[in-house]
């Protein structure tokens, strides 16, 4: 028993010595790591190890000129998303998705189209495959209050271009126009903030900008260290490289919400004899794994047309065809492609849609009219996406020149693998020749 007890005592002491030696080594290692001079050697190779505390996560918020439409806002998202992508190479940033609401073209009555989360229209998980994102109301929960540390209002230069030349630059300047954000008696800046009346900012500055979005990186990482920064009028910042691989990664991540795609798919199946298997337009859940070859998609047995009317017809009369001329052109396309079905996406009033259909007697002409439940749940933005999704699956698509609604359909069809010749087409206006210039083709860059 005595020998056994002595043996256990020796083992205990030996273990204690090993623990103390290990702690001593770790302490020594940590002390060396704190020194900028320290190195770890392995043979002839030396690697310097710097140990520093993890950097806190920062948040970037943004908004756009209230007058801009749904599809331009999607474009600005891509610019800001790739800015956040670059910021994350320096330190951790999360993009706060600006709630949707109060857009000019959303005119349905009786709907509270305000404070709409991105998940209503897009797959937020898909966005997160490109950059870290968070909905605004989740941002409030995470940070504990509806507070923004700093607002940068982006504006033009008061003097315009220097010597008539555009040059890239950003400067802090006095504000040159009336702001939506005002300092209250409590010292906080309050304003629109997507309709959230309790949201406020602690600081407000104006930046004159003439630059690509990436030029904000040093300002956000070196000129300020606050936790949250809000870029107001973010449309002032341009794409760093339009149609680059980074552009297309951001664009491909902007995947429509599945509940909206499902509605569009059902409409295709019932009315247009169209489904993904026959049309060769299958979608993979993770867009990063999806790479369709050009011309691989066939599309459903119908032509889709986006025909802008209302303000566009009033303000761009040279570029917009009359309803009769649009119908005549569509007849030629239907005969050329030996198709009998036509899907029309338009903002035209009901009487103009009827007139257009009257000009197309002998063909099956469809447009999507949302049931009450769809309109109430997904609002005008969701209905527009359903229209775009149906257009994106047609055998042939023709759009309206310079319309961002049509341009987004071009991109969607590129992603699905359609022939550009069956995609990049537009109506010629009554003030143009029948051989008017067609849209520029922007191929996906991988």
pLDDT along the chain (446 residues), means of 10: 42 40 38 34 42 81 94 97 98 98 88 96 98 98 97 94 86 87 94 95 97 97 96 97 96 98 98 98 97 96 95 74 95 98 96 96 97 97 98 98 95 98 95 89 94
Q: State the pLDDT at residue 204.
A: 96
Identify whether the C-beta of residue 426 lies closer than 8 Å to the C-beta of residue 320: no
Contact (CB, 8 A) for 406 and 419: no
Give the span between the Cα atoms of 77 and 147, in whole angstroms. 22
Cβ proximity of 132 and 93 under 8 Å: yes
Contact between 32 and 202 (Cβ < 8 Å):
no
User: What CA–CA distance (Å, rounded) separates 152 from 230?
Assistant: 6
- Residue 31, pLDDT score: 40
- Dihedral sign, Cα of residue 337, residue 323, residue 319, residue 380: negative
Question: 407-415: which pairs have CB atoms within 8 A and are 24 or more residues apart?
Answer: 407/71, 407/439, 408/71, 408/74, 409/304, 409/306, 410/439, 410/442, 411/251, 411/442, 412/388, 413/297, 414/294, 414/442, 414/443, 414/444, 415/251, 415/252, 415/287, 415/290, 415/292, 415/444
> Can you tell me the distance from the alpha carbon of 268 to that of 172, in angstroms, rounded to the nearest whole number?
52
Helix (H) or strand (E) holding 303: strand 300-307
Query: Which tokens sit at 73?
Result: 């806002």
C-alpha span between 387 and 344 (Å, rounded) = 9
Q: Is the dihedral of CA 259, 262, 268, 271 positive or negative?
A: negative
Helix (H, G, I), strand (E, B) or coil at 4: helix
Q: In whole angstroms, give the CA distance from residue 390 to residue 273.
A: 12
Spatial contact of 155 and 177, defined as CB atoms under 8 Å apart: yes
pLDDT score recorded for residue 243: 93
Q: Using CA atoms, how far apart are residues 251 and 291, in angstroms rounded to an integer?
A: 13
Upper half-sphere CA count for residue 353 (Cβ side, 13 Å): 16
Catalytic sites, residue numbers: 68
Tokens 């002390």 belong to which residue? 31
CA dist 114 and 196 (Å) reads 10
Backbone angles phi, psi at 228, to 5 degrees: -130, 135
Please, where are the H alpha helices in 310-363? 310-315, 323-336, 350-359
Sign for the CA dihedral angle at 412, 418, 420, 422 comes to negative
Tokens at 250, concatenated = 């951001």
Q: Is 219 exposed, middle or buried (0-12, 13-18, 19+ CB in 10 A)?
A: middle
8 Å CB contact between 321 and 429: yes
Task: Print burial letters for 300-318: b (CB count within 10 Å at least 16), e (below 16).
Answer: bbbbbbbbbbeebbeebee
Q: In terms of pTM, does the model score above 0.75?
A: yes
Is 50 buried (19+), middle (13-18) or exposed (0-12) by CB count in 10 A? Answer: exposed
Rounded CA separation 63/66 (Å) = 8
The CA distance from 198 to 22, in Å, is: 54
């Amino acid at each position: 028993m005595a020998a056994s007890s002595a043996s256990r005592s020796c083992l205990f002491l030996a273990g204690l010595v090993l623990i103390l030696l290990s702690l001593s080594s770790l302490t020594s290692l940590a002390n060396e790591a704190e020194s900028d001079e320290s190195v770890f050697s392995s043979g002839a190779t030396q690697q310097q190890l710097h140990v520093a505390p993890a950097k806190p996560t920062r948040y970037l918020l943004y908004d756009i000129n209230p007058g801009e439409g749904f599809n331009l806002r999607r474009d600005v998202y891509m610019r800001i998303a790739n800015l956040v992508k670059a910021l994350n190479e320096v330190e951790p940033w999360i993009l706060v998705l600006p709630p949707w609401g109060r857009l000019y073209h959303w005119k349905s009555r009786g709907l509270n189209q305000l404070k709409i989360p991105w998940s209503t229209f897009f797959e937020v998980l898909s966005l997160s495959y490109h950059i870290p994102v968070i909905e605004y109301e989740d941002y409030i929960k995470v940070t504990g209050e509806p507070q923004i540390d700093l607002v940068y209002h982006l504006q033009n230069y008061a003097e315009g271009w220097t010597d008539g030349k555009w040059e890239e630059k950003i400067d802090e300047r006095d504000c040159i126009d009336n702001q939506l954000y005002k300092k209250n008696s409590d010292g906080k800046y309050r304003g629109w903030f997507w309709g959230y009346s309790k949201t406020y900012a602690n600081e407000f500055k104006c930046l004159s900008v003439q630059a690509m979005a990436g030029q904000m990186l040093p300002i956000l990482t070196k000129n300020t260290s606050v936790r949250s920064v809000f870029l107001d009028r973010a449309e002032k910042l341009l794409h760093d490289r339009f149609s680059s691989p980074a552009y297309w990664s951001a664009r491909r991540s902007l995947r429509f919400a599945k509940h909206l795609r499902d509605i569009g798919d059902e409409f295709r199946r019932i009315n247009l004899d169209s489904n993904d298997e026959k049309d060769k337009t299958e979608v993979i859940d993770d867009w990063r794994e999806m790479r369709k070859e050009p011309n691989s998609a066939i599309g459903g047995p119908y032509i889709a047309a986006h025909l802008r009317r209302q303000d566009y017809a009033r303000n761009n009369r040279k570029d917009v065809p009359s309803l009769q001329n649009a119908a005549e052109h569509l007849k030629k396309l239907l005969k050329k492609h030996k198709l009998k079905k036509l899907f029309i996406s338009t903002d035209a009033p009901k009487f103009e849609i009827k007139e257009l259909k009257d000009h197309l007697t002998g063909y099956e002409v469809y447009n999507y009219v949302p049931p009450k439940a769809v309109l109430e749940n997904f609002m005008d933005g969701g209905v527009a996406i359903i229209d775009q999704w149906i257009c994106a699956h047609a055998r042939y698509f023709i759009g309206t020149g310079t319309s961002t609604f049509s341009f987004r359909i071009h991109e969607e069809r590129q992603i699905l693998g359609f022939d550009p010749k069956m995609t990049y087409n537009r109506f010629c206006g009554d003030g143009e020749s029948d051989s008017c210039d067609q849209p520029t083709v922007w191929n996906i860059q991988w």
